[in-house]
Every structure is written in structure tokens, then in C-alpha cells.
Amino acid sequence: MTFEPALGIDFKDVQEIPKKINWKEFITEGTPMWEWQIAVSELFEERPIWPKYSLIERLLDKNLKFTYQTLKRLLLTVGYYFSGGPFQKFWIRKGYDPRKDPDSRIYQSVAFRVPPELKSYCDDNAAKGLKHRWEDLCKFRFFPYRNQYSFQLYELDDDYIQQEIQKPPKQTSCTYETGWFSQHVHDSLRLCVKVRFLSIFPETGAEKFLKAASEKFMKSKRACIFKDAPKPVQEEHQQINEDHETLRNDTEAVDEAIENQIDTDDVEVDELDSDDGEEEFDVYGMDSAGEADNLSLNSFSHMENTSTSYLQQLLGSFPSMDTNGDKKQDGGESSDGEYQIYEQDDDENYLDDDDD
């Protein structure tokens, strides 16, 4: 058999994927190689994309054992893999292009990296030759002994992950960074895996990492909920924010107007007090301590009427003009400047004393 290039295909640049071949024409039926190839082909019929460790474990569970070179030949017969992207290093069935199928999102990879501060635990156990079953890791039963893994979403035993990957895709294309998922959803899936593993770390030291990852996970989930909400809900949420902002601005405007009105009223009251003279202070507005009482609009109206009445009475007591226009007292003599209502100096002194 001759194979098309199938190892490390560029996710972005290579458009044509390796075609499916009829391997049965080249392998003798009934031989061990035939049985092994049948077993591998059946796995790719079960699902089109597999992580390497998952494939090996499934073959071992079938009691099939062979060398690494034989395994590579078996996989190259029916599969290929990309060098990067959302399916990086996962074996993909020949003839199937996950970049064109939104349903392939459930087979995407999600990475988990052990925090540097916890790597000593992994290194110590790896040095002892200890290993976990792939299935146990996918079920979050043990903390990994390796510092980095790429898991397949489909295989992870987590309710949140399974619910998210089964939702209809929102993306119209498969991107190199996040595949068929939005950035928010992709981040949430990755953080979910991180929280699950950190929560089962068997020693002390992971608490602060777990807390930080949990907080980020909750924020990411809330962002996903808002982004996936129907557009009217988003518009309503935006309208509520705009209404709150408008209300806040209106409140500030009203407060400013009230402050300006208070300042204006103070000026008007000062002018009234200054013009009305001594009697108005005695009757309306000053107590024994010289402090102003509360004044109403009716009070100012009554004060104005009283002042007018007082002046009318006072002026009515003055002598009338004769036909020649001269002022006369009761004695009939003319007099100029003898009848002054206020002394200017006294009035100014009173206001000065009141201000003090």
C-alpha cells in the first residue's frame, strides 16, 4: 500500500484531506494483520476521531498486543491527524474532514496543564513508573501523573461539558483556536476540566489554584449564558442599563436644579429683606436671637400688603398740596425737607447691626 501524507497535516493551509482507501485489497484475510486492521477500522466506524491513548487502551482491552511500528501502520491505513488546531494529534478517519462538519465539535480537544507549583507531585509518581487508565482520567477519578494532557470532550464524564457540547453550534466555521465553539464556551470547557482535576489533588497546595479557577469558571459560564440569550433579552438588559444611566443623569440634573433654585431663592429673600425696611424684620422673620424663621409665599404676600397699608396711612397724614403746589403744615407755613421718613445713616446702621 502507498499512503498519502497523513501525519501532521496543516490545519489552515491544507484543504484536501487523505482519501479513504480499500485496505482489504492489500492484506491477506485470516492473518493477524487482517484481524488487527479490522479491530482498528471498527473503532473509526464507532466514531471518526480518537485520542491516541484512548485508542491504545481500547485495543488492549480487546487483548490485542503489537509493536508501536505495527500500531502506526494500522493507524496510517485508516487515519490521519492535524499538527495543530482543535483536533491536534487526534487520529481522524480518512475521508472525514471535521472542519466541514459542525457535529465534529463533540470530538474536539481540551487541554489540561498542571500548575508549575504542583508538578513535583506528577514528576515523583512518573519516576516510579505509575500510570492511570485513560478511562479513569476521563472520569476524573485520579489526578494525572503527567504534566499535560489533551482530552477529548466526548470522553469526559462531566454533566456540564456534555450538556454544552450537545447544544446546537453557534459558530458557522471551524477556527484554529476554538474549533466550532465560541471563545466563551471554549474557555468554560477548559476551566471546567481544570476545576475538576484540581478538586481531587491528593495533597495540599492546590487550594488557591482551585479557588482562582472556580471563580474564573463561574464568570465564564455567566458570560456564556448572556451571550447565548435571545436577542430581545440582550436588548432588554441593555435597555435596563440605559434606563438606569438615564435615571442617574436625570437625578443629578434635578439635584443641580434644586441647588440652583435654592441659591436663587436666597438671593430673592435677601433683596426683600433689604428693601422692606425695619418693620418687616420686627413682624416677619426675626426672633429674639436674630435668627430667621421659616417663611412661606403667603407670608411674603401678607408682608407686602401690610407695608403698603402702613405707607398709605403715613402719607395720608401729610398736608395736602395747595393750588400753587406748595406744601403746608397745620399752621399754613410752607416747609422744605422737614418731613423725612428714614434717616439714611440710621437705616444703614440697622442693617449692619442685623448682619452682625
Cβ atoms of residues 279 and 307 within 8 Å? yes
Predicted confidence at residue 12, as pLDDT, reads 93
For residue 9, the cross-strand partners are 82
Phi-psi domain of 224 (left: phi exceeds 0; alpha: psi -120 through 50; beta: other)? alpha
132 in the same domain as 15: no
In a domain, 330, yes or no: no
Judgement on whether residues 27 and 49 belong to the same structural domain of the protein: yes
Nearest CA among 178, 158, 174 for reference residue 166 = 158
Whether residue 48 is found in the same domain as residue 111: no
Q: Answer whether residue 76 shows pLDDT above 80.
A: yes
Nearest of 207, 194, 98, 93 to residue 151 by alpha carbon: 194
Q: Does residue 89 sit in the same domain as residue 171?
A: no
Q: H/E element holding 49? A: strand 49-50
- Starting at the edge strand found earlier in the chain, the sheet holding 49-50 runs 49-50, 91-93, 79-80
Contact 297, 269 (CB under 8 A): no
Q: How far apart are CA 214 and CA 191, in angstroms?
A: 8
Coil, helix or strand for 279? helix
131 close to 54: Cβ distance less than 8 angstroms: no
Task: Report if residue 79 sits inside a domain.
Answer: yes
Amino acid at 251: T
Q: How confident is residue 123, by pLDDT bands cut at 50, 70 and 90?
A: very high
Residue 164 forms part of a structural domain? yes
Query: Where does the pLDDT of residue 115 fall: very low under 50, low under 70, confident under 90, or very high at 90 and above?
Result: very high
Flag whether 147 is in a domain: yes
Q: Are residues 69 and 139 in the same domain?
A: no
Q: Where are the beta strands (DSSP E) in 54-171?
A: 79-80, 91-93, 109-113, 148-152
85 within some domain: yes
Question: Range of 52's domain?
Answer: 1-96
Q: How far apart are CA 275 and CA 61, in angstroms?
A: 107
pLDDT at 298 over 90: no
User: Domain check: are 216 and 144 in the same one?
Assistant: yes
Judge if 155 and 220 occupy the same domain: yes
Residue 298 lies in a domain: no
| DSSP structural state of residue 109 | E
CA distance 70 to 33: 9
Higher pLDDT pick, 341 / 217? 217
Sign of the C-alpha dihedral, residues 6, 98, 221, 189? negative
Both 140 and 115 in one domain: the answer is yes
Q: In this structure, is residue 64 part of a structural domain?
A: yes
Beta carbons of 104 and 180 less than 8 angstroms apart:
yes
Task: Please tell me whether residues 119 and 152 are part of one structural domain.
Answer: yes
- Helices 52-61 and 32-46 meet at what angle, rounded to 10? 120
Q: What is the pLDDT of residues 34-70, one digit of tens each?
A: 999 999 999 999 999 999 999 999 999 999 988 889 9
**Three-class DSSP category at 323:** coil
Which is it for the CA torsion 123, 125, 128, 129, positive or negative?
Answer: negative
Same domain, 91 and 106: no
Residue 141 maps to a domain: yes
pLDDT higher than 90, residue 179: yes
* Residue after which a domain boundary falls, among 176, 203, 228: 228
Q: Which of 228, 263, 289 is the last residue of a domain?
A: 228
For residue 135 the three cell numbers come to 478511562
From the centroid of its chain, how far is CA 265? Answer: 46
| CA 149 – CA 136 distance, rounded (Å) | 13
For residue 349, give the DSSP letter.
H
User: SS3 helix, strand, coil % of the chain, rounded to 5?
Assistant: 55, 5, 35
Indicate whether 126 and 67 sit together in one domain. no
Contact 87, 107 (CB under 8 A): yes
| 63, 96, 129 - which closes a domain | 96
- pTM metric for this prediction: 0.64
Q: Are residues 141 and 27 in the same domain?
A: no
Which cell numbers hold the place of 18? 487523505
**Confidence at 285, pLDDT banded by 50, 70, 90:** very low
The length of the chain, given as a count of residues: 356
pLDDT, tens digit (0-9, with 9 covering 90-100), for 91-112 = 999 999 999 999 999 999 999 9
Candidate from 15-29, 48-62, 262-276 with smallest mean pLDDT: 262-276
Using CA atoms, how far apart are residues 325 and 274, in angstroms rounded to an integer?
33
The neighbouring-strand residues paired with 327 are 321
* Number of domains present in the structure of the chain: 2
